[in-house]
């Protein structure tokens, strides 16, 4: 399950119990009909911090080919597991989040698609934005980009950090035997932590590039040390009193505006870069 397409950051349509009955891979550009059972060598887990996800991805890439979506057990392809049939794609596009996810990277800039998702209500749109944001920034960094390629994604995510995720009953694709209300609570916690993971990714990239923003590293562990239950109110209180002041101290609004101006200037000075495949994560070994 944890190594399946549903838990991969290239699939914006599912995360654990949340999502549609099908996923969509933004790398293979294909509908995932059996996302809980399939995987590929490009898989990057979205439930783990950046370093750990990269370590696990390196082990995973040695076991599975990057070009094929296969069954986790047996490593074999099954034709009904995926689809790029136009009728299926049209059906998926009838869902507002599905539409943006299918179009992601096809026409306008990826950041524009992410902005569309940000503007949409509901936890599914948010999970799509957060999942694809992680893959987007990783891709930019892999092309020698600056950590500021995730600047707006960081700011948007920080702005909603303490909000309770808006999970509708129709957003839950399975309860796995758990009581529905508890499943929703656990899923909401996982979405809040996915926000913090996106923020943590960008802090890690800043630290690797010796930017002072990197000094706020370790928020994921600090949050779990401070709040060892799935109580969102307690978590939101910790974020308001501890995480947000630390973040705002290292990256105040004035610096955000200044960096955003610089980012836009750099982008308008450059010709649009060619699309390249993201490099495979470096094998880091287990801690």
Q: Footprint of other proteins on this chain (CB under 8 A)? A: 1-3, 16-17, 36-37, 47-49, 52, 55-56, 59-60, 63, 71-73, 174-180, 182-183, 186, 189-190, 193, 220-225, 228, 230, 286-287
**Smallest gap from residue 174 Cβ to other proteins (A):** 7
31 beta partners? 24, 83
In degrees and rounded to multiples of 5, residue 112 shows phi and psi of -70, -40
How far apart are CB 59 and other proteins at their closest, in Å? 6
Q: From the CB of 54, what's the least distance to other proteins, in Å?
A: 12
Rank residues 45 and 152 by Cβ distance to other proteins and give the closer one: 45
Residue with tokens 């960081």: 154
Query: What does the alpha-carbon distance between residue 254 and residue 283 come to, in Å, rounded to a whole number?
Result: 38
Q: Output 63 or 265, the one with its CB closest to other proteins.
A: 63
Query: Among all chains, which residue has been given the structure tokens 């944890």?
Result: 2
Closest to other proteins by CB, 51 or 166: 51
> Other CB atoms closer than 10 Å to residue 178's CB: what's the count?
14
Which residue, 175 or 212, is less far from other proteins as judged by CB?
175
**Distance of closest approach, residue 227 Cβ to other proteins, in angstroms:** 8
Q: Give the residue with the Cβ less far from other proteins, 36 or 166.
A: 36
Query: CA nearest 286: which of 40, 30, 53, 20?
Result: 53
DSSP secondary structure string, 200-229? HHHHHHHHHTT-GGGGG--HHHHHHHH--S
Q: What angle do CA 189, 195, 199 make, to 5 degrees?
A: 140
Query: Toward other proteins, which CB reaches closer, 176 or 272?
Result: 176
- Least Å from the CB of residue 226 to other proteins: 9
Instruction: Please write down the long-range contacts of 173-182, taking CB distance under 8 Å and 24 or more positions apart.
Output: 173/14, 173/17, 173/18, 173/19, 173/20, 173/21, 174/17, 175/17, 176/17
Residue among 228 and 276 whose Cβ is closer to other proteins? 228
Q: DSSP 3-state assignment of 3?
A: coil
CB of 229 to other proteins, least distance (A): 8
Q: How far is the CB of 210 from other proteins (least distance, A)?
A: 24
């Amino acid at each position: 399950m944890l190594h399946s397409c549903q838990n991969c950051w290239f699939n914006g349509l599912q995360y654990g119990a949340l999502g549609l009955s099908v996923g969509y891979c933004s790398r293979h550009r294909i509908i995932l009909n059996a996302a809980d059972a399939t995987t590929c060598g490009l898989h990057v887990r979205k439930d783990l911090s950046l370093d750990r996800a990269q370590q696990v991805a390196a082990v995973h890439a040695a076991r599975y080919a990057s070009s094929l979506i296969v069954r986790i057990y047996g490593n074999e392809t099954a034709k009904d597991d995926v689809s790029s049939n136009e009728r299926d794609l049209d059906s998926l596009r009838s869902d507002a989040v599905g539409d943006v996810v299918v179009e992601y990277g096809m026409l306008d800039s990826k950041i524009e698609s992410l902005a569309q998702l940000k503007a949409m209500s509901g936890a599914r749109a948010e999970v799509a934005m957060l999942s694809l944001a992680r893959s987007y920034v990783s891709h930019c960094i892999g092309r020698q980009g600056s950590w500021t390629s995730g600047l707006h994604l960081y700011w948007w995510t920080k702005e909603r950090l303490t909000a309770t995720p808006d999970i509708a009953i129709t957003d839950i694709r399975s309860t796995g035997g758990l009581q529905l209300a508890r499943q929703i609570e656990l899923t909401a916690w996982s979405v809040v932590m996915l926000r913090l993971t996106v923020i943590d990714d960008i802090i890690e990239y800043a630290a690797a590039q010796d930017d002072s923003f990197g000094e706020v590293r370790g928020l994921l562990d600090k949050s779990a040390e401070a709040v060892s239950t799935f109580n969102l109110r307690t978590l939101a209180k910790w974020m308001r009193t501890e995480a947000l002041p630390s973040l705002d101290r290292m990256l105040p609004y004035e610096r955000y505006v200044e960096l955003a101006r610089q980012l836009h200037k750099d982008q308008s000075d450059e010709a649009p870069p060619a699309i390249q495949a993201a490099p495979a994560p470096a094998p880091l070994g287990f801690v």
